[in-house]
Structure 1
Amino acid sequence: MPETVLVTGGAGFIGSHTCVELLAHGYEVVVVDNHVNSSPRALDRITKTAGRPLAGAYRVDVRDRRALSEVFTAHPVDAVIHFAAHKAVGESVALPVEYYDTNVGGTCALLAVMHDHDVHRLVFSSSCSVYGEAPTVPLTERSPVAPTNPYAHTKLACERILRDVCDHLPDMKVLALRYFNPVGAHPSGLLGEDPRGVPNNLMPYVAQVAVGRRERLDVFGDDYPTPDGTGVRDYIHVMDVAEGHRVAVAHLDDQAGLRVFNLGTGTGTSVLQLVAAFGEASGRPVPYRIVERRPGDVAELVADAGAVAVAWDWRTTRDLTAMCRDAWRFQELNPDGYAGRPPRAGGPTTGGTPCG
């Protein structure tokens, strides 16, 4: 029988792409998502893209232990991929209690329900933000951790909880994936990043400027110690991230306990370099202005992804050009996001003017 993987936050940006990847490789997939920052319409897009239905999809907040337990009772869950969390650095500075409640509280609730149902295999969505203002790059898994904002603190807190749980329960097998900056979209244009309200991440904001939904991009600071003064990040295609999670599930049984891996390309790209690349991919200008730095941001985060390459013989395969091209295809075909008309085969939608 194929393994059943429960994906929390499975209607979100990374979660939806990971569901497609899992379905394409024969897994049965169950989604739980409260749709605070995602669209239920993404679930239909998952099925259409994969050509296979989900085994189940539930509107459930992972902090609701009773409702979550009912999902585990209804399905023979073999492993869990845990994405469900708030994820915006700037927002976390303004709403720290909400971030701790959802990210840390949700993880604790999930672990308790997993234990109740004798499920001890977990892939955890962590973040490169735990490294903070790194003294040197690229960053290995042994680089010191020094979070600079509440979001990053919640991810590191979850990792420490997972380590304690693994020390207490010798059957636990956990992989924490610290991925860098997921961008892009499914090459079909059916799935992509479509946040509610004003995007907190760079690529969807740039895409919305290019398509005309927003006037211009605010670049937060041009006085960082980087080649052009803007922040440098390791951008990774969301399909590579999804593939990495699917491969992680296959390697959960390699070893008990908690293991931590970076997912990244090892190549740094500045904000202005990404803006230029997106303008070239879209053929549209991306107006921008320089504004003050944003609290909690750091100058540079670039991965050393050598450990995962050695452990799993796996590497990313998609470059910045593909990231921009695929993100633009999704934005062009879905100018109003999932709330608009479904994209037509062969060309952009014509109707109207979100939620990954």
Structure 2
Amino acid sequence: MVAVGGQVVLMNLPGSDDAAPYEVRDARSGDVLWTFEPLKNSDGDVESSSVALDPEGSTVYLLLSSGEMAAQNAATGDTKWSYKFAEPRSGEPLPSLAFADGVVCVTDRATVRAVASDDGSELWTVPLDDTPVGAVLIGRMLLVQTTSHLYAVGLDEERVVWQKRAELSWQYPAGGIVFVTSHDTFTDTGKRVTQALDIDDGAVRWSDPSAPHAVLAERNLVAYADGDGKLLRTRSLDTGKKLYEKAIPAYDEFVSTLVGDVLVEPTRSGEKKSLVGIGLDDGTVRWRKPHGDIKAPDGRWPYGKVLVADSTGKSLRALDPTTGETRWTVTPDDKRSVLEVAQVGKNLLFVSTGESSKEDSTVERLYCLELLDA
């Protein structure tokens, strides 16, 4: 794992998946600022742990199986404070974290805890009726997915504002709406319906039985492919009104995402694979390029470019999303594959390289590129 924020880079080092050591580097120089080695309990066993970097890059948060969270100064490694979120555990997943202004949201064991980021004091707790499996913060609303429900916890209200029964399925929060597939909403054919819920109050704005995948554009438009990926459907984000439906190349695997108003997706025709850019204004294919591994960290495109690793995995090219033209190509490491990319500031791009397989990947080197045309 490589996380970038502010002026630092957090990087996991080789070790156990449950308790990997990590180091923090200066983003500009690459110098190691400090290194953390896994802790051992009273029996001499290594404690399971996970680590996260806040978006500003000021604090590293270490979660331990002993039930403690430590906030470390990202520049020095000094512990600012610690917070006890649970009793010691063994074999259980560690909490998920979300960061808001002055607040760290800790979601764990059917409870959401709000902790002050400056001193680690507990601000409030909200109990849930089910076990959380993930959480994402949208504005001041924390959406918590459990094994059977979706909860919206308001940071200002300090309570569950609304909840819906929802299966573990595709969810796309954006534009004030979250798309979910619910257990208790079926069509006459028995297929589940995808609902567009208002993030603020959970009200159903509209629903569609043919929307298993939703991709949100910036101009009040929702686009998604049908089940076999051969038809692009578009709807009004606010009302669900049909805008147009158009045949598109069948996708090879659903990793489609948006760059501005262009839908980028890998496609397959027989044994031939390619990468296409589809304009959402009319659903036409604007460009087609050789297939590659799309690099879009957290669904975002660094500097508005489509970053794609070539078939060897060693070269990274940046495509213009409107025309598909190659703006630049770089091979940071001719012996190792490109694994992850991350944007920092106005013109820095971090690229990690190493060994990659279907099961796992190991980061071996980290490169910082300065982009002149970013």
TM-score norm. by structure 2 comes to 0.27
Structure number with larger C-alpha Rg: 2
Bigger relative CO (Cα 8 Å, ≥ 6 apart): 1
User: Higher helix share goes to which structure?
Assistant: 1
